[in-house]
Chains A and B, each alone.
Chain A
Amino acid sequence: MAVSLTHLEKSYQDPSGKSFRVLGPIDLRIETGEFLCLLGPTGCGKTTLLRILSGLEQADSGKVSLGAGRFGYVFQQGALFPWMNVESNVMFPLKAKGMTGSECRSRAAEMLNHVGLYGFSKSFPHELSGGMQQRTALARGLVTEPELLLLDEPFASLDTRTGINLQEMLRAICGRLSTTVIYVTHSIEEAVYLADRIVVMGHSPGRIVRNESLNLKWPRSRLSSEFTEILLSFRQTFEKLVDPSATLSS
């Protein structure tokens, strides 16, 4: 088991000092090598959950057990360092772990090759398109070959075609490295395409409302009847979260 969350809760204070719970209680187990999508509407606490898992925020109560030692994080806007070129950005987590220059360089080159950016290693982030920046961020997240990869809506700001290409690439690389993945998204189609299991979160406070493994084989086709059926089922769950009185006509 890679991750176990037990009765996790998180509250914030509003400007008047009043405390309100944004998350929990959350109980969740994620198996090693599993690709799990956290799906939910904006503001349901998906990112907060991811930040707690990465240690960027502390939960008020509950327990987080990480079976994984190394983990990577891919942010929504990439969070690349603008003063470094693509190669230095990708090498950076390796240097943080004390790896030497030549080894860093070869690992970074290999990962840039995987994400199709080998020829752009000397470019700076501002010289790249949004898709290429996200590929760089993905390469940076994966270069340490993490046992657990956390992704926070990494392709949300990209056009559909680029997003689909990157989803396919992500799935292929993570499959090859047997990485456990927690992928936050509010796109149902993205979740159904990528995930082994989808956890749907509701808001006020953020909680799990549906937790379901997908019986879809690889390679997946977005046009297959099984895919559409699952997509509609999750859309119905999703729309009920946004508007409880809503029903979906097929």
Chain B
Amino acid sequence: MNGEIAHNGDRIRISGRFSVKDLEDVTTSLEGNSARHLVLDFSNCQSIDGCIAVRIWSIAEAKNAKGASLEFRGMNPDIEAIFNTFKAIDDRPALPVQKHTLLYNFEDIGDKVLATWDTVYGLAIFTAKAFKALFSGKVRGSITAYYMEQSGVMAIPIVITLNWLMGVVLGYQAGYQMSQFGGELFMPALLAYSICWEIGPMMTAVLVAGRSGSAFAAEIGTMKVRQEVDALEVMGFNLYGYIVTPKMIALFVVMPLLITAANFAGMAGGLAAGGIFLKMPAVVYIAEVRKALIPFDLYWGVVKGFFYSTIISVTGSYMGMRVRGGPAAVGRATTSAVVVSIFLVILVDALLSLLFIHIRPGLLL
């Protein structure tokens, strides 16, 4: 039986069982009555559908807002329970709104400083544990070789291409400026220093951080989400030895080689720029480069490679290990791994540059 609605001035009596089909009739009846104090009598009403109750409640609220009222009478316990639930929801205290006061801004800064400190502290502890595992555990040869292939061999084309292009651009721009003063013969030395001291190692580190650091974070993060890391831990494996050190060893081997390849590719780019734009013979370019560089300049790239390998492998692994929750956290970890790795690479590069000018033979301060 459908519900029936009877009007009597400022009183509306509803009887029977009200289903969703009666929604429009109930709405029309309640909204069509303009009495300031309207009484809704449920005395003969056995039940109402949830959506009818929601509509009645919202009409009552709308009337209240206009200064009118809708009073409920004669409700059976079931119907009363529904409206009591609505009332309890309405009566809940509003969530405190955080005002952007000066204090809030200081708190926000403080929270961010603490979060950054947590990351730095966690990363330092993680690095120490990774080195401990590196010196105390056995080398997992096959998986290390896999990471060497992924992070090293497969990175060769992009590292060489980009560094060659950097060499062309630097060679052309430096040569053009110097030719204004008749000093184009100094271009090979300038370019060789720039490439070997900074551009080659830095570009390689950025590329490896983007390719491999993110891949390490994604791989370990996915293992965390799928509980594979927990499974390894439960079986008694040293997670650092099993997961982190193969990546570290792989980068220790391939980074210096990639940086050396990048240095030569950059200088080859300079050779091309000199030949095409400055009409500089190759023998002259090579002779000038050999005059400028000493073996230390190339070894310096290897030293930087050791630091960058540590940063990229440990940061990628750490961000992966920090993953909590679902796949979205893996994406965030990947982004963090790349951003933090590149930041740390640049920071360490700046510190190493300060050291470099003090230890390189032949540099005048």
Contacts and interface: CB of A to CB of B under 8 A. Distances in A.
Nearest to A97: B236
Interface stretch (B23-31, B222-230, B281-289, B329-337): B222-230
B67 to A, nearest CB: 37
A77 B227 contact: yes
Contacts of A71: 234
B227 A93 contact: no
Interface in B279-320: none
A71 B227 CA distance: 17
A193 B228 CA distance: 29
A240 to B, nearest CB: 18
Contacts, number: 32
A75 B227 CA distance: 7
B240 to A, nearest CB: 15
B226 A54 contact: no
A79 B227 CA distance: 5
B100 to A, nearest CB: 17
B21 to A, nearest CB: 29
Interface in A50-86: 51, 54-56, 71-73, 75-77, 79-81
Interface string A81-104: 100000000001100110000000
B218 to A, nearest CB: 14
B230 A79 contact: yes
Most chain B CB within 10 A, of A54, A96, A97, is at A96
Given A96-B236, A97-B236, A73 B231 contact: yes
Contacts of A55: 233-234
Nearest to B242: A96
A96 B235 contact: yes
B228 A79 contact: yes
Contacts of A73: 230-231, 234
B231 A75 contact: yes
Q: Which 8 A-B pairs have the closest CB atoms?
A: A79-B227, A79-B231, A73-B234, A96-B235, A75-B227, A93-B235, A79-B228, A96-B236
Interface of A: 51, 54-56, 71-73, 75-77, 79-81, 92-93, 96-97
